[in-house]
Amino acid sequence: MKTLIEFKNVTKAYKIGEVPINALNGVDFTIEEGEFVVILGASGAGKSTILNILGGMDTASTGEVWVGGQEITRFSERKLTQYRAENIGFVFQFYNLIPNLNALENVEFAAEVCRNHLNAEETLLKVGLKDRIRNFPSQLSGGEQQRVAIARAVAKNPLLLLCDEPTGALDYNTGKSVLKLLQDLNRDTRKCIVLVTHNTAIAPMADKIIKVKSGAIESITINETKESVEGIEW
């Protein structure tokens, strides 16, 4: 398999007043094309910081981040904006849909800026929202809103799908069906997915599990045989 992502000795320090906070203290890992990766760790461990640097929403203090053969840590602001727009699909815990656009318009609005975007309506069908495409976010359940958010990220046809606690606001069964959707998308499209969570129970669904503790890598595990979400209970 070909390497898609590489973090080389990445650090991140935030400064609040005079006190520096070292969110990442030299993080190294690689992610291969098509992998489903779960980043695990306790609150404050540095998971979101890794995801935000990878998605070009934040920048490393030192170290190198390579994505698809390009060193994004050398990108100018402008290039980073373009990288975010074209290469990254982001799924957040709280969906972040535009309230006065319906499901279809939310997906179209995000996809249109991308050169190789997919058809918005077809993508909404793929995530199981055939009968809801003209509904506004306020008319959709949390699980349905998250499906719209996933369709919005997928329709961009990005290099990478990044998910930060995508089931954090959902009940058990709805969360499970969203994870199944992500697993199916990864299997069917071979698109690389990186998912951040503190839920250790979902580790068996990943190809690779990166455990983060106090801003450092605690362990990296490869699942030779990963499990389907339906077979996992927590």
Ligand X SMILES: Nc1ncnc2c1ncn2[C@@H]1O[C@H](COP(=O)(O)OP(=O)(O)OP(=O)(O)O)[C@@H](O)[C@H]1O
Q: How far is the CB of 169 from ligand X (least distance, A)?
A: 13
Q: How far is the CB of 9 from ligand X (least distance, A)?
A: 17
Restricted to residues 189-218, the positions that interact with ligand X (CB under 6 A) are: 198
Segment interacting with ligand X (CB under 6 A) among 42-50, 83-91, 113-121, 186-194 = 42-50
**Count of residues that bind ligand X according to CB under 6 A:** 13
For tokens 């006065």, name the residue: 100
Restricted to residues 43-62, the positions that interact with ligand X (CB under 6 A) are: 43-49
Decide: is 76 part of the binding site for ligand X (CB under 6 A).
no
Decide: is 129 part of the binding site for ligand X (CB under 6 A).
no
In the list 1, 16, 17, 231, the residue contacting ligand X (rule: CB under 6 A) is 16
Q: How far is the CB of 206 from ligand X (least distance, A)?
A: 17
Q: 46 or 137: whose CB is closer to ligand X? A: 46
Q: How far is the CB of 135 from ligand X (least distance, A)?
A: 30
> Pairing between strand 192-197 and 3-16?
unpaired
User: By C-alpha distance, which of 182, 218, 188, 219 is closest to 202?
Assistant: 182
Segment interacting with ligand X (CB under 6 A) among 13-21, 64-72, 180-188, 201-209 = 13-21
Residues at the interface with ligand X (CB under 6 A): 14, 16, 21, 23, 41, 43-49, 198
